[in-house]
Structure 1
Amino acid sequence: MTAQPSQAPAQTDADLDMAVEMLRLLADHTRLAILDLLRDGELSVGTIANQLGRPVPGVSQHLAKLRTGRLVHTRRDGVTVYYRQANEHVDALVRNVLQQAEHLRFENPPHHA
């Protein structure tokens, strides 16, 4: 008799619903661009807005949504708030979705070079 490999338990409906909400947060050009900028570390709202060429109030609204979705964390230094990705899973998710997009655009995606 051979042992069956153990399988991870199926995800619950609550887990799947939370994942869908996370993907909805990522399904926005500006929010995905923000998370991509935060791959290398923390940045202030003003720096993010400047690098994206977007107004600070709009970027702040997107950051608030990402914070509510627990995809970013903050650190305050005086009056300046710095944002960073919440954890390595956010980083992996952003990298994977952007790399998958490269697969749709290129026969030999740049990340394979």
Structure 2
Amino acid sequence: MQQLDYVADHLKLLGDKTRLAMLSLLKEREWCVCEFVDIFDISQPGISQHLRKLKSKGIVKEERRGQWVYYSLNVDDKPHIQAVLECIQDSKHILKMLF
């Protein structure tokens, strides 16, 4: 039952369109919070809240560089998330949908 709870918690996070789009973009490279603010037209606190939720479940990791925080995927040990991300379009399509 623990495994089901673990996977269910992760998949709940992916039920949000913004978080799913963020993860899709992170498949190809790391992104800074400031870049996500520009792309999604959401406030910095809003973007940070989405990323905090993903980080709390170990789906993304962060690296601070000076005043900037960069995020990257952390799903090597999460095949259920990898499977979902394989079904999502690449960043070119995601960015076209957002603009």
In the superposition, the TM-score normalised over structure 1's length comes to 0.69
Map residues 4-83 of structure 1 onto 2, 5 A cutoff: 13-83=1-71
Note the alpha carbon deviations across 1:22-72, whole angstroms, 9 max, x for none: 000100011111111111111110101211222211010000000001100
Question: Using CA pairs below 8 Å that are at least 6 residues apart, which structure has the higher relative contact order?
Answer: 2
In the superposition, the TM-score normalised over structure 2's length comes to 0.78
> Aligned to 1:94, which of 68, 85, 95?
85
Gaps of 5+ in 2: 90-99
Identity %: 36
User: Contact (CA 8 Å) 1:39, 1:91: kept in 2 or not?
Assistant: no
Number of residue pairs the alignment of both structures matches: 86
Tell me which structure has the larger Cα radius of gyration: 1
Aligned-partner Cα distance in 2 for 1:70–1:25: 11
RMSD, aligned CA: 1.5
56 and 91 in structure 1: CA distance in 2 versus 1, 3 angstrom threshold? farther
